[in-house]
Amino acid sequence: MLAILLGVCMASLDTAIANTALPAIAQDLNASEAHSIWVISAYQLSMVAGLLPAATLGEIVGHRRVMLFGLVVFTLASLACGVAPSLGWLVAGRLVQGLGAAATMAVNGAMLRFIYPDEMLGRGVGLNSLMVALAFAAGPTVASLVLTVATWHWLFLINVPVGVLAIVFSLRAMPPTLRSKRRFDTLGAFLCAGFLALLVFTLNEGAQLASWQAIAAAAALCLVCLLLLMRRQAGHPAPFLAVDLLRRPLFALSAATSVCSFATQSLAFVSLPFLLQNALGYTQVETGFLITPWPALVAIMAPIAGRLSDRFHVGALAGVGLAMLAAGMALLATMPAEPSVFGLCWRLAICGAGFGFFQSPNVRALMTSAPAERAGGASGMVGTVRLLGQSVGAALVAACFHAYGGGGAVVALWLGVLFAGLAGVASVMRLRYRPGPG
């Protein structure tokens, strides 16, 4: 379990710290702000592209092997990023690092399924959610502390000893898992990766109001990849895009709930720094600390909700959490023009408590509504719907700023209320279905 937590921590932490260090990286490598964004985009694109193929590979060769492969790739790529002499080198390293993170994140949920019995799975999911929340919460602070005593290179080099430790623990303690006898569809994997990467790319470019020719070309290629993938995998018992799992009402509703909820989170996390720094005058470091109540409350509530999900229906638990999230987002959208620190923090705390109360039960529902032999596919979908939701949220924030200028942050918060409400409706609809893979 420790190996899984270390892998999840590294993958989550690296998402957060790179955002904070981006100005320093751009300055040191003599890169423009626009070009430096690829340090973030490369990691996200390769991660979302690799999740489902890695999950399927885990079902075939074993989740333990894929986890180890991901940890090794992530650790070596972190070393390459840490010694990068140019932006191109760093972006290439981040692409490989994202693939390692995808392999690690794709199978961590499936590994929990084999470590914990069904009646205790919620506890394991809660602990996993706790680690993700702590990593996101600590990300800006860790980056700020490292940058005060060292260069940005050490933000990546610090992963090397942690990665080695995770590999050692994995070799010693990680249990073997079920394997499938089917062959890995390499062409299908490339089509799936292309579809997801192009989907995220199209969303980002569309939100930035980039060249319509580039957007149209990316959208067309995305559609071609999807159609070819669906044709190639028609009738397949375990397709990359988990159509077989999405036919299960509880799984489909849980996936929809996740997309809408993580879109809400992204709408808040991307828009709030602009609101706090540009409108309210807080510094970058102060902004990081002010947003901390959200992930801190997620860290507190996720293990509690995880334990409760072993006893109560996910639809009710997540529904309560999402109602709190919607209320918190509405309170943020309607806060005074110059709120006090306390006034801002308690609103964010409500959002975090609601999100934490939703997250663990929802992940448990996604994992347990799939049969054991499809645990890898379910685990891959957990990460995929999360990243898609976050991508949708970030794209909508960019669109809000293009449409409303400085007032875009408040509009984005109201959109967060809408998405939280949609997630709540999808969650309550799950009350009609009995939990389990049947």
Residue 219: the pLDDT is 87
Residues 268 and 178 in one domain: no
Residues 280 and 400 in one domain: yes
Check residues 139 and 68 and name the one with the higher pLDDT: 68
Residue 162: the pLDDT is 87
Residue 387 covered by a domain: yes
Residue 194 covered by a domain: no
What's the chain's average pLDDT?
A: 82
Residues 269 and 411 in one domain: yes
Residue 201 covered by a domain: no
Q: Which of 185, 203, 222 is the last residue of a domain?
A: 185
Residue pair 10/163 in contact (Cβ under 8 Å)? The answer is: yes
Q: pLDDT at residue 89 above 90?
A: yes
Residues 272 and 409 in one domain: yes
Residue 155 covered by a domain: yes
Residues 287 and 161 in one domain: no
Q: What is the pTM of this model?
A: 0.79
Residues 170 and 241 in one domain: no
Average pLDDT over residues 416-435: 89
Average pLDDT over residues 131-157: 77
Using alpha carbons, select from 335, 328, 330 the residue that is nearest to residue 297.
328
Check residues 93 and 138 and name the one with the higher pLDDT: 93
Count of domains forming the chain = 2
User: Each residue of 232-282: pLDDT tens digit?
Assistant: 877 666 677 777 788 888 888 999 999 999 999 989 987 888 788 778 888
User: Each residue of 15-25: pLDDT tens digit?
Assistant: 767 766 766 78
Residues 291 and 149 in one domain: no
Residue 205 covered by a domain: no
Residue 92: the pLDDT is 94
User: Each residue of 388-397: pLDDT tens digit?
Assistant: 888 888 788 8
User: Each residue of 34-84: pLDDT tens digit?
Assistant: 577 678 778 878 888 888 888 888 878 888 888 889 999 999 999 999 999
Domain that holds residue 1: 1-185
Average pLDDT over residues 177-186: 71
User: What's the CATH code of the domain at 405?
Assistant: 1.20.1250.20
Residues 153 and 268 in one domain: no
Residue 224 covered by a domain: no
Residues 160 and 242 in one domain: no
Check residues 257 and 180 and name the one with the higher pLDDT: 257
Residue 200 covered by a domain: no
Residue 132 covered by a domain: yes
Residues 275 and 172 in one domain: no
Residues 240 and 170 in one domain: no
Residues 174 and 309 in one domain: no
